[in-house]
Amino acid sequence: MQNIAVHEASTLMRYISNAIGSIRDPQELFRTVTDKLRLVFEFDSAFIITLDRDRRFINVVFEMVRFDLPDTIQRKKRPVAGSWIESHLGDEGVSVVAIEGEMDRYPADFPVPRMLYDLGMRQVVLSPLRSGGKVIGFLNFVSREQKQWKESDKELLSTLSSPVAVALSSALAYEELRQREAQTAMQLAVNNALLTIKDRSRMLLAVCEQIDKLVPCTFLGIRVMDRDGNFRIFDNFMRETPSGFFPVSAHEKLDVPDFAEMARESFSLITSPGCFSGEAFQLLCDKYRLVGLVREKFNICSLISVRLWDLPGSCAGLIISDTSRAFDEHDQETVGLIVPQLSLALQNYLAFEEIDKLRRKLEGEKAYLFEEIKATHDFEEIKGESAVLASVLHRVSQVAPTDATVLIQGETGTGKELFARALHNLSRRRNRMLVKVNCAALPATLIESELFGHEKGSFTGAIERRIGKFELAEGGTVFLDEVGELPLELQAKLLRVLQERELERLGGRGVISVDVRVLAATNRNLEKEVAEGRFREDLFFRLNVFPLFVPPLRERREDIPLLALYFAAKFARLMGKPHCEFRESDMLLLKAREWKGNIRELAHLVEQAVIVSDGRWLDFSTMLSPSLAFTEPREQGQLKSMREFEEQVAMMERELILEVLSQSNGRVSGEGGAAEKLGMHPKTLYSRIEKLEIRKRYR
């Protein structure tokens, strides 16, 4: 070692301090300082190593390039044995050691001493660098020869090391700051991608590119698995060009027969401890076929796996691997920074996906039901040509285009529902739903929830939130069938909807406004119900804005033939049977019947006839006996006793036979004869003629 004068040492000290104050770039500063130190000390190369805060890792930060250190050992954190640290920190001064002796004291995966030795270096001098009383690293001189270091040399090196320590500590602080800034920038960029990009693959690709900026990698995989073992997301991105990542199908890339099993294996990686490199990575390759396979196929040498979440419904994780370098704790920590927002974004994404799926399903179901309802009722137009029906239809056409509430009254089976549908179909609401509520079909306890909906848990059995018919009909029409049956306590709530167009769900806290038109129907006499206190008067007036009376069938008998023919054709078509004709005698009987069940009864009767008939004529023989027919109500005034009914039947039958006989010029049997026309056997006709005393002269 050279001996230098004290004043030279202080000049050097000043020089180094000035350099530290003026040179910004740490590498350049280190080169300048070591060039000056070379004037005083003999060494072949110099480098600095730093210790992390808890002294578990060392990092080669700057080296004097006399020889090239391979890339893999540069600027890399490496674990270091506690005993090594202790031995060099013990005397707190400069230590001069033979490299040969050092080699065994380093862990196997810290190859620096071995490499130095292989490069011909034999001695290393370590000068501790202190900041705030703590050793933060070492300035190291290495030499080919073992040189003698006097105590004064060691003292000088120790003194000159302190400005180096100051520079190192500020360089490290600066480096840490820069890293934090880069991490924050990455977090922001990832957040931005997660918030703004809707397409999942593009969103994850952007995340992948951001991670790659701080933790260079060649592969990134995201997995989300249901509890039943199905993958909801299995996305992979690979670096395919130096500049970019691309989504890849791992199946194609790996081309293994049991890919599902492999995929599951990749998931168990995520549940294993996070970071694998070095020996641990080798162990992992032995444990998981998948890791061994990708290592061989893609030459990966390191892997980080992070669990994103682990919830009762699903779990998820992220895998990152690289082919050129081993990840360290710092990389793992950086990847960990984006876990919270990535998890949240993916969970939101999946929730939205689920909601969207349900929405599309509901829309599909709604459209289907809508079409089905339209299809079912399309062919059921209101049939009839009577003047009384025409006047009701005229009223329908007047009120339909308005939003007025209509109260449709009429006996059972007169077609009130058909009129309600006609009112809806002729209104501006025709493209929205017509929602029917049968007020008589539900128990009082359920009608409220049926009409207005309920919140989850609002009553026993309300396991899910459900919207009511009024909300379902939004923009359309609600048809309250059998409104006369509505319990009194619900009548008040219905009144509120009619007045305010607002409702509250059962157990709900907010008021919901609805835009619906209300149509109501009843076969009760509502005015009588009001008088007897069973129906609220105010509700009656609200419903009865526009009354519509549907006449009973007996008041429009002239429509019976048309309706009967219509139903016969309809049921024959539905049953795939040939079309049969009506005998005129049967038609007369149909026209004369009382029809308490109105059009519904007529439809059922014709349906039965279509079922039992086989041949040219519809067979009403079991259904239309005189005793069953002609039960015209007494208050209608014409019929007084059973005898009278029978007389009337005989009279009508007589008229019919006479009519047909006159058409066939008095001929009973044979082609074109009356028997053929009436669809009867000639013998039967003869006996009827006899019984009805139709004399020859009339024929």
Q: Give the residues lining the site for ligand ATP (CB under 6 A).
A: 380, 382-384, 410, 412-418, 481, 521, 523, 563, 599-600, 603
The distance of closest approach from Cβ of residue 600 to ligand ATP in the complex, given in angstroms and rounded to an integer, is: 4
In angstroms, rounded to a whole number, what is the distance separating the alpha carbons of residues 106 and 124?
A: 14
Burial class (CB in 10 A: 0-12, 13-18, 19+), 253: middle
Which residue's Cβ has the minimum distance to ligand ATP?
415
In this structure, what DSSP letter does residue 146 have?
Answer: -
Cβ proximity to ligand ATP: between 113 and 552 the closer is: 552
Beta carbon of residue 691, minimum distance to ligand ATP (angstroms, whole number): 37
Q: How far apart are CA 90 and CA 110, in angstroms?
A: 21
Closer residue to ligand ATP, CB minimum distance, 177 or 390: 390
| Residue 239 vs 593, nearer CB to ligand ATP | 593
CB of 639 to ligand ATP, least distance (A): 26
Contact between 270 and 231 under an 8 Å Cβ cutoff? The reply is no
590: Cα separation from own chain's centroid: 57
Compute the least distance from the CB of residue 599 to ligand ATP, in Å: 4
* Closer residue to ligand ATP (CB): 133 or 379: 379
CB of 447 to ligand ATP, least distance (A): 17
Contacts of 467 (CB under 8 A, 6+ apart): 453, 505
Nearer to ligand ATP, 414 or 449 (CB): 414
Supply angle C-alpha 470, 424, 439, rounded to 5: 45
Residue closer to ligand ATP (CB basis): 380 or 474: 380
Residue among 396 and 599 whose Cβ is closer to ligand ATP: 599
Query: How many CA atoms, within 13 angstroms, populate the side-chain half-sphere of residue 143?
Result: 17
Instruction: List C-alpha distances in Å: 263 to 159, 234, 287.
Output: 59, 8, 15
Least distance in angstroms from the C-beta of 503 to ligand ATP: 25
Closest approach of ligand ATP to the CB of residue 604, in Å: 9
Lookup: tokens for 115:
């490499």
- On whether the CB atoms of residues 412 and 600 are closer than 8 A, the answer is yes
The contacts found for 646-653 with CB under 8 angstroms, 24 or more apart, are: 648/592, 649/589, 649/592, 650/692, 652/588, 652/589, 652/592, 653/585, 653/588, 653/688, 653/692
When the beta carbons of 341 and 438 are compared against ligand ATP, the nearer one is: 438
Tokens standing for residue 442: 């539900």
* Least distance (Å) between residue 384 CB and ligand ATP: 5
Helix (H, G, I), strand (E, B) or coil at 87: helix
Q: Cα–Cα distance between 88 and 126 in angstroms, integer? A: 8
Measured between alpha carbons, how far is 639 from 643 in angstroms, rounded to an integer? 9
CA–CA separation, 190 vs 196, rounded Å? 10
- Least separation, in Å, of the C-beta of 603 and ligand ATP? 5
Question: Closest separation between CB of residue 613 and ligand ATP, Å?
Answer: 20
Complex with ligand ATP: residue 390 or 446, whichever CB lies closer: 390
Residue closer to ligand ATP (CB basis): 484 or 673: 484
In DSSP notation, 280-301 reads HHHHHHHH-HHHHHHHHHH---
